[in-house]
Structure formats: C-alpha cells, structure tokens
A and B are shown apart, each in its own frame.
Chain A
Amino acid sequence: MFDEMTLKKDAEDREKWKKAFDRLYPEGFQSETTSGLPVKSVYSPSDIQDNDPAGNPLPGLYPYTRGIYPAQYQHQPWMNQQVLGYGQAEDTRKRMDLLVKGGMKGYFGHHVFNLVLDLVSQAGLDPDDPEARGRVGQVGVHISCLTDLEILFEGLPLDKVNTVFIVGEPSICLLAMYIVYGESRGVSKQALRGNSMNYLLRGFNWDVAMFPPKNALKVSVELIRYCTEFMPHWNTTNLSGYIIREAGASAVGELAFTLAKGMNLIEACIESGLNPDAFLPRFGFQLGFHNDIFEDVAKFRALRRMWATINHDRYGCRNPKSLQARIHTHTCGSSLTAQQPLNNVVRAALQTFGAVLAGTNALQTSAYDEAYSIPTEEAARLALRTQQIVLHESGATNVSDPLAGSYYLEWLTNEVEKAAYAVLDEIEAQGGFIKAYESGWLRNQIAEEALKWRQRVDSGEAVVVGLNRYADQEEKTEVPLFRVDENIERRAVERITVYRQDRDQERCRGALKRLEETARGVEQGRQGEFLMEALTEAYRERATLGETMTVLKDVFGYGYVY
C-alpha cells in the first residue's frame, strides 16, 4: 500500500521511536480494547502495509466499508430515532409531540417514532391477564387493541411517518394491527413506512419466554414473505447486535453473533423460496455504541464490509441494496451508572459522537437517568439536544468516514473483522447458528464475557468513573424521577374490556379459528395462506393482541429455550 521510500522511513522512525519509548517502558507496553484485542501505543504505515485498497473504496462503493451512500450526512442527517414509550397511548403521544416540538426528525423532515412497548404487550398479553399485574405501561407503551393505535397516531400523516414497534414475538401482530389501522385512515399497506424488529431468536441473550427457535424462524419468515410481496416501504427485520452487547458480549461477539443470526434468517428465507435480492434490502441493523469509540467505529466499518461481502459471495446478491448495511445505533445503556448520574450525559455524548464518526444511519441517544427509570422530559430533551449539537456544531458531518486513513483505525477495522470471521467459523464448525443457540454455546460465550467485564470492574482494572473510582459517597445528585401513573393499569383494563364488548363475537371467534388453522399450516411447513392475512382479518373483527397471541403461542409453543 505504501511505496518503498515511505516504508523505509517508517522503519527508521520506528527504531528511533522505540529506543526512546523503551526507556519509559523497558518491559514493553500493551493495552487492550474492550473486546480484548491487544493494542500498541502507536500505529504507523507498516501496520497497514498489507491492506487491500479494494476493501476501502470511497463511500457508496462496494464493499461499503466507508459508508453505504456516496453522499452521507451532507445529503441527509441520521434519523433521530429516539426510543420512547410509557403508559397508555395518550401518555406516549404527549412525549411524541414533545420531542417533535424539540426537533426530532426522520429523513427528509418526515416524522419518526421509535416506540417501545411495555413488557405486557411484548409478552403478547392483554392488560387484564394476571401476569400483567404491576407492569402495564411501566417500561414502554401498552398497545393491545386498535384504540391504542388510533390515539397514538391521531392526526398524523401515516404515509409520512416512519414507525417502529419495538416488540419481539408480537412483531407480526403489531404490523398486522398497524395495517388495519392504516386502512381505517385510508392509507394502504403499500404506503406504510417503518420497521418491525422481527427479532425472535434472542433467547441466547437472556431467558425470556418466546417461541422455540425453529418455529420462531417460521414466524419471522412469514412477516418477511408478506412484506416482500405487499409492503415495499416496510423494513421487515432488525438484526439487533445491541441486545447482545447489552447482555455482556464484547464488540467482536456483538458483530459475529448478529451476522450469524442474520445469515441463519437469510437461509431460512431462501429455503422458503424467497429471493435474497428481493428481501435483503429491507433488513437493517441495530448496534450498540460503548465508550471505546475507536473499537466501535471499527466494528461499524467491519460490519458494512462483511455484510456486503457475505451477501455478495455466499448468497449471490447483486442488488446494491442487498449489500448495504443500514445501521441504527443505540448508545449503550449498560455503560451508564446510577452513581453520579450526570456523568451519563458525558458518556451518551461521547457515544453519540462516536456513532456519527462511524456513519450511523439512525441514532438513539440514551438519557442520563436510564439507571433510574424511563426518562423525564428534561432528560429526553437533553438526549435529543446531544444529537443536535453533534450535528450542527461539531463539523463531524462535513466529511464522510472522517477517521479513514488513520493507521490505528484501519488496522483495528481489519482486526475486528478477522476476529469476527473467526467466531463465525467457530459457529459453522458446530453445525450453524441454531445448533450453537440450542446447545447453549452462544449463551455461555456471552455470559463469560459479561462475567469477565464485571470482574474487571470489581477488581478496579476497568475504571468506571463514579462507581469504582472518584466515587465520592458525599456526592449524591438528586435526579428527578419519572413515575408511571399506577392508574394506567386500571384504565387499560377498562379500555380492553369495552373493546371486547364492542364487536361481533361470532365473527371474531371465526377469525381467531381461521388464524389458528393458518398458523398450524405455517407450523407444519405448508406454503399457502399468509399468516399476516389471517392476523389482519382477526384485527378487523376486533380481536385483541392477547387473544391473537394466545393462538400463536398455542400453535408455535412458548417458553424457555434452556
């Protein structure tokens, strides 16, 4: 990559430099990234001499290491995709309006609403289920019937709104409900824009009840199959590395396991008869951004290069959109502390800046009070301001992939990529993603990393400012606490009770019966009716989330993987 003269000079410089450096560190000096990749104290041309320039062309050129578009933030800033949601729809709508007023924007000035649902909805339960006690609307918005959607989106132009429903198993249900809601607003499903998480294979991160892996794949494929045919603007799947990172994986683990998950889903879709060039353009990623900025920037670049290469070489994709990794960043909540909470403003700012340097396409900046509760209005607004300051004041958006060419960053990008491919090989050697998942191997990898990290914090080797160093016991910052109104549960139960009364019971029962039949067909591998169509029919007859999910749980199973 460099000419003879440059390399010769570099070698000479290194000798002189090493003599001076070794006087300070006669035993040598080495540090590590958070993934444990050994890192020297300085990098120079010889470290990237063997780099293939074809791996790093200008942005918008395969394999897109430097960015997926030729013009990046110069053309369009990242989406302010702030996660929001609590209480009932009307409560969340207030927060939506507040953040829009504060300048929260999607692409081309469209609205973007990244809605996180409460755990009751995420478990596919109606608010009057005994398991729902105490949790309705607590850490997300409760959505279990069309009324909730009507209140959330009233008066908003649905064809100019980008809506995300952060929900797992019920991904297909929320989308079906949204389609039916859209119909009532005169907006066809072809015009709807947004994202389904469709992340049904996350049981290796944490022990949450879900569909068993093989059936989870079938349900995921059903959503993709339907949207590929009928919903050209809907992003069907979000390959979430963030949740893997938050469970304790390193940056390398996050990258590798996300790609393994993606490849598994791609193969399941191909097996079901879908053409990857038809469905891949609507896949996206969610990655975490932690405090080691350089490692995570390298991770993003490695991801883009790997996604393009794997889809091109392994799956034969030629549609550029199949090869371009669109990435949403969620700054790492796990890096934030309850102690000295204002420190979190700094962490979130660092991570936001890093994500912009990495070329993220959408961004969620965590609020400083995340360790206490869901954000207060002030904290939510400050998180948005953090993004706006980076956008307008830092100059980081003038130049695409501004860190490129840095000896360290280019070297690190290659190292992270190499390490991730090695993990992918390990998974392949076990017989693939599902085997590695069901055997507990993936889970153990993550648990080991999580334990290692915590032990380094406990020993003080990893410094967390305010927690294990500079932890002034006297310094107790009072943080305004956001409380979700306890009456929300009662009101949600009233709403669903009225909703269930206000429908043709026989038609609803009939639709639920047809949903069951269709679901059984999917479970048995029969191609034919779309599960999505049976679901939309059920919601047209005013079935609730709980009623439809009960059917799906019965048919596909619901419980722990381990």
Chain B
Amino acid sequence: MLLTKSRMDAHDRGLRYVAKLLSLAGMEVILTRYRLPEEIVTVAVQEAVDVIGVSCSTGGHLYVAETIQESLRREEAEGAKVIFGGIIPDQDIPRMKNLGVIAVFGPGSSVEEILELISR
C-alpha cells in the first residue's frame, strides 16, 4: 500500500498513525511525499501496490484525484484502488467518487474502517 501526501502539506500526524497501524496489521506500507501528483502513480506502479492512499488537508484534492485517475489509465494500472483521507468537504465526496476514489476517511476515522474496506 502506498500512503502519500504533498511535500508542502504539513500536518501528517493522521497519515503516520494510519501507516503505523496498517503495518502493525500486517500490510506492507510505503510512506512517501510527492512534489507533483503525477509522481504518485509512478511510485505506485514501481512498487506494484494494490492500494493508493492520499492524505490531503489543504485543498486541491479534486485535482489530485483527477490526475491519479488519468495516470492510472495511462499506465494501464486501473486495478489499484484509490482512497483519500484528511480534510475534504462532504460536498466534494460524490465528485471524488466519480474520479475513481473508493472512499474518503475524514477526521476521527478509525483504522478498522480502512482495513475493513481494503479487505473487501
């Protein structure tokens, strides 16, 4: 699983928590920062991950989701599942889903919820 965040997006306490608990639960977790969202799928393909998790607390989530969708198409890697976390307005969730995001985990979400989704 790739867990990633923009290199300018400071607050990463939630992301580190998720990374730690997912790896304790037995998942192989790769934690990275990206400069441009195009890098996300490049790394995901390199590392052959099943799930891409993006943490975003500072806007631009629709653009990032769109970029990931396009990149996955281009790399023919549409099998990878995409989830988001962070501060994402409820109103944007339908649009995120249209861009291929399976689920959005906002503040207070538990790792159990994430694990449950991934195992399905």
Interface residues of A (CB under 8 A from B): 119-120, 122-123, 130-131, 133-135, 138-139, 205-209, 243, 246-248, 334, 337-339, 371-373, 447, 450-451, 454, 458, 467, 481, 483-484, 560
Q: Are A560 and B33 in contact, CB atoms less than 8 angstroms apart?
A: yes
Within the complex, what minimum Cβ distance (angstroms) separates B11 from chain A?
A: 6
Q: Are B64 and A206 in contact, CB atoms less than 8 angstroms apart?
A: no
Can you show 15 pairs from A to B with CB atoms below 8 A apart?
A: A119-B8, A122-B8, A130-B36, A131-B35, A133-B60, A134-B61, A135-B59, A139-B59, A208-B8, A209-B8, A243-B10, A246-B11, A247-B11, A338-B108, A371-B87
Q: Are A138 and B60 in contact, CB atoms less than 8 angstroms apart?
A: yes
Within the complex, what minimum Cβ distance (angstroms) separates A452 from chain B?
A: 11
Interface of B is mostly: loop
Q: Are B60 and A134 in contact, CB atoms less than 8 angstroms apart?
A: yes
Contact of A208 among B7, B13, B20, B61 (CB under 8 A): B7
Q: Are A208 and B10 in contact, CB atoms less than 8 angstroms apart?
A: yes
CA distance A205 to B13 in the complex (A): 9
Contact of A209 among B7, B61, B108 (CB under 8 A): B7
Question: Inside 8 A of A483's CB, which chain B residues have their CB?
Answer: 89
Q: Are A123 and B8 in contact, CB atoms less than 8 angstroms apart?
A: yes
Q: Are B108 and A134 in contact, CB atoms less than 8 angstroms apart?
A: no
Q: A119-B58, A130-B36 are in contact. Are A206 and B12 (CB under 8 A)?
A: yes
Supplied contacts A134-B63, A208-B10, A371-B87, 7 more A-B pairs, CB within 8 Å: A119-B6, A131-B35, A206-B12, A206-B13, A247-B13, A454-B17, A458-B110
Within the complex, what minimum Cβ distance (angstroms) separates B67 from chain A?
A: 9
Residue of A nearest to B57 (CB): A139
CA distance A371 to B108 in the complex (A): 10
> For the side of the interface on B, what is the size category?
20 to 34
Contact of B108 among A122, A337, A451 (CB under 8 A): A337
Residue of A nearest to B34 (CB): A131
Contact of B62 among A119, A130, A134, A447 (CB under 8 A): A134
Q: A139-B59, A209-B8 are in contact. Are A447 and B108 (CB under 8 A)?
A: no
Within the complex, what minimum Cβ distance (angstroms) separates A448 from chain B?
A: 10
Q: Are B13 and A138 in contact, CB atoms less than 8 angstroms apart?
A: no
Scan residues 57-115 of chain B and give those whose CB is less than 8 A from a CB of chain A: 57-64, 87, 89, 91, 106-108, 110
Residue of A nearest to B89 (CB): A481
Q: A119-B58, A139-B59 are in contact. Are A338 and B110 (CB under 8 A)?
A: no
Question: Inside 8 A of B60's CB, which chain A residues have their CB?
Answer: 133-135, 138
Q: Are A131 and B106 in contact, CB atoms less than 8 angstroms apart?
A: no
Q: Are B107 and A451 in contact, CB atoms less than 8 angstroms apart?
A: no
CA distance A120 to B13 in the complex (A): 21
Q: A135-B59, A138-B59 are in contact. Are A450 and B13 (CB under 8 A)?
A: yes
CA distance A5 to B91 in the complex (A): 68
Within the complex, what minimum Cβ distance (angstroms) separates A492 from chain B?
A: 13
Question: Inside 8 A of A247's CB, which chain B residues have their CB?
Answer: 11, 13
Q: Are A131 and B8 in contact, CB atoms less than 8 angstroms apart?
A: yes
Which 7 pairs across A and B sit closest by C-beta, in order of nearness? Answer: A134-B60, A138-B59, A134-B63, A338-B107, A123-B8, A119-B8, A209-B7
Question: Inside 8 A of B61's CB, which chain A residues have their CB?
Answer: 134
CA distance A139 to B10 in the complex (A): 12
Q: Are A450 and B17 in contact, CB atoms less than 8 angstroms apart?
A: yes
Question: Inside 8 A of A134's CB, which chain B residues have their CB?
Answer: 59-64
Contact of B58 among A135, A205, A339, A454 (CB under 8 A): A135
Question: Inside 8 A of A371's CB, which chain B residues have their CB?
Answer: 87, 107
Q: A134-B59, A135-B60, A338-B106 are in contact. Are A207 and B8 (CB under 8 A)?
A: no
Contact of B10 among A130, A206, A372 (CB under 8 A): A206
Question: Inside 8 A of A130's CB, which chain B residues have their CB?
Answer: 36
Question: Inside 8 A of A208's CB, which chain B residues have their CB?
Answer: 7-10
Residue of B nearest to A119 (CB): B8
Question: Inside 8 A of A135's CB, which chain B residues have their CB?
Answer: 6, 8, 58-60
CA distance A560 to B17 in the complex (A): 20
CA distance A156 to B6 in the complex (A): 36
CA distance A560 to B32 in the complex (A): 11
Within the complex, what minimum Cβ distance (angstroms) separates B62 from chain A?
A: 7
CA distance A133 to B58 in the complex (A): 12
Within the complex, what minimum Cβ distance (angstroms) separates A472 from chain B?
A: 14
Residue of B nearest to A139 (CB): B58
Within the complex, what minimum Cβ distance (angstroms) separates A91 from chain B?
A: 14
CA distance A248 to B12 in the complex (A): 10
Q: Are B89 and A447 in contact, CB atoms less than 8 angstroms apart?
A: no
Scan residues 1-36 of chain B and give those whose CB is less than 8 A from a CB of chain A: 5-13, 16-17, 20, 33, 35-36
